[in-house]
Structure 1
Amino acid sequence: MQFITHLPGSTPLVLDSPHSGTAYPADFRHACELAVLRSAEDTHVEKLYHFAPALGVHWIEAHFPRSYLDANRNTTEMDVSLLDAPWPGPVETDPKVMSKVRLGKGLIWRTTDEGVPLYDRKLGVAEIQARIAQCWTPYHAAVAQAIDAAHARHGYSLHINCHSMPAVASSSATDFPGEAHADFVVGDREGTTAGKALSRLVCEHLKALGYSVAYNHPYKGVELVRRYSNPGEHRHSIQLEINRNLYMDESTLALTPGAESLKASLRSLVELLLKTDPRTL
């Protein structure tokens, strides 16, 4: 099984999609129905940005599903209640970081966004270590390599971590169950992973296209923007969430006609970023 795709680019812009994978490994052995499990996917996000590599944009995409291993979590965000033996590595203790683990959404998911258990068994330590080695490690290596290459070539890097979100927050997805989401959520961990002027540019561009845009609520950005950003060194990372209602039917997972206009909007955003040097903002 091919676990990731990494298409190197020539521009300062790096896009990655860690949650759009639909290839479910045989060793997953999940207990819930696949149709239920698929609600965890950022389904079709990779299709929305299909134009990007041809523009010289670095592209990284996960093929493994988010519910199998969440590449946007640190390896320390371990739900030890899932395991049949003590975890030999470090485990995060910060209550803020572990809030998602308590919701069942750590590195390895315990439940779906609706609270449905994924497993009817305990997971082995070796099983989780294999997932990390096959999925998390190469995915993060690819993102780091792309950002380093962009920065080395141009003196700065722009990283967009590409996601989608349900139209309405599920019961176990965030700390705001039932909240109706904006069309886009731009997250930079309160200005710590990207220059605020850059984040403001992204927000204003999307608003000018007619979309509703929220900033750092309810999604601020997680591990992939935290780990590889340093605005002081001109390494900027933004998590961009797209409301699935804009491009797909959440019940059938089918693309809707709105997908084409959304692709055009995302292309205009990418083209703007390709013309933007954050050092001048």
Structure 2
Amino acid sequence: MRSEVVYLPGTTPLVLDSPHSGTGYPDDFGHCCDPAVLRRAEDTHVEALYDFAPQLGVAWIEALFPRSYLDVNRDVGELDVELLDGSWPGELATDPVVLSKVRLGKGLVWRCTDDGQPIYDRRLSVAEVQARIDRCWTPYYAAVQAAIDAAHARHGYSIHINCHSMPAVAASHATEFPGMEHDDFVVGDRDGSTASAALSRWLCEWLRGRGYSVSYNHPYKGVELVRRFGLPADNRHSIQLEINRRLYMDERTLQRHAGFEPLRAQLRELVQALLVLDPRGLG
């Protein structure tokens, strides 16, 4: 069986991961949804936008499976129990914010697409969900943990950028703000709890200085990957960075357009700037 996670270790303080750009749809998915509709759930081409990272010594982690199969930016307790054919043996999420996403159909295993189309015409067995966790979630988190631990051990601090993309306009079941027109970038640190606020401000201003519109912690604050690994008091900084897909692709055809290469070049400049930035020196 192939590995579902790519992990390329680095030598710098920087760690990048792309949890939602996978395009390898497993044979056991068993969905009833139009594959073309499912593909719109992907963070399409994000892995290509950052493909320079390993050359710069930046650790890189990438999910090969699609987020609609298993969303690794969710905790294992973020489950829609109505989707299961039996009782879940583990703990279930109780946080109201988390449960609001589950009710939208966007838990660990998605119930519906961003526009509300059902993904399954069946209930999933507890065993198959556990198998997805074992094959996908567990190795992904192990890789991110290993990369951050190694970066922190080498340099005394780590900067983890959780790489995502977002549609130009939020669909009905994507967030709690359907119809919102997104800025070019959204920087999320869960209200300053997963990264130094000074570092997040620096990132926002760097992007604005290149002419981009930027939102901070709205409508995306960051979810499980930054929550779990961000510990700014220990000089472990995790930031979720969302890129508007209109900047680099046609959202209807999923094809890259002329904006792709200029954006990729500026992301490389951003990464290079982060490589020489010590967040311990920011005010």
Bin for the TM-score computed over the shorter chain: over 0.9
1:42-191 pair list within 5 angstroms: 42-191=43-192
Say which SS state the counterpart of residue 98 (structure 2) adopts: coil
Say which SS state the counterpart of residue 96 (structure 1) adopts: helix
Shift of 1:270: 0.3
Q: Match for residue 264 of structure 1?
A: 265
Range that drifts further, 61-70 or 95-104:
95-104
Shift of 1:2: 2.7
Q: Distance in 2 between matches of 1:163 and 1:86?
A: 32
Residues 165-196 of structure 1: CA deviation (Å, up to 9, x unaligned): 00000000001000000000000000000001
Residues 97-127 of structure 1: CA deviation (Å, up to 9, x unaligned): 1111000000000000000000000000000
Give TM-score scaled by structure 2 length: 0.99
Residues 19-47 of structure 1: CA deviation (Å, up to 9, x unaligned): 00000000001001100111110010000
Q: Distance in 2 between matches of 1:243 and 1:2?
A: 29
Shift of 1:95: 1.2
Q: Distance in 1 between matches of 2:179 and 2:243?
A: 17
Q: Match for residue 31 of structure 1?
A: 32
Say which SS state the counterpart of residue 11 (structure 1) adopts: coil
Q: Distance in 1 between matches of 2:94 and 2:16?
A: 30
Q: Match for residue 214 of structure 2?
A: 213
CA RMSD in angstroms, aligned pairs only: 0.5
Say which SS state the counterpart of residue 182 (structure 2) adopts: coil
Which aligned segments of 4 or more residues in structure 1 are displaced greater than 4 angstroms? Answer: none
2:129 aligned partner, one-letter code = I
Shift of 1:228: 0.6
Residues 226-265 of structure 1: CA deviation (Å, up to 9, x unaligned): 0011000000000000000000010100011100010011
Equivalenced residues, count: 281
Residues 128-159 of structure 1: CA deviation (Å, up to 9, x unaligned): 00000000000000000000000000000000
Identity across matched positions, percent: 70
Q: Distance in 2 between matches of 1:28 and 1:97?
A: 24
Say which SS state the counterpart of residue 152 (structure 1) adopts: helix
Q: Distance in 2 between matches of 1:94 and 1:171?
A: 22
Residues 181-238 of structure 1: CA deviation (Å, up to 9, x unaligned): 0000000000000001100110000001010000000000000000011000000000
Q: Distance in 2 between matches of 1:146 and 1:2?
A: 17
Give TM-score scaled by structure 1 length: 0.99
Which ranges in structure 1 are unaligned for 5 or more consecutive residues?
none
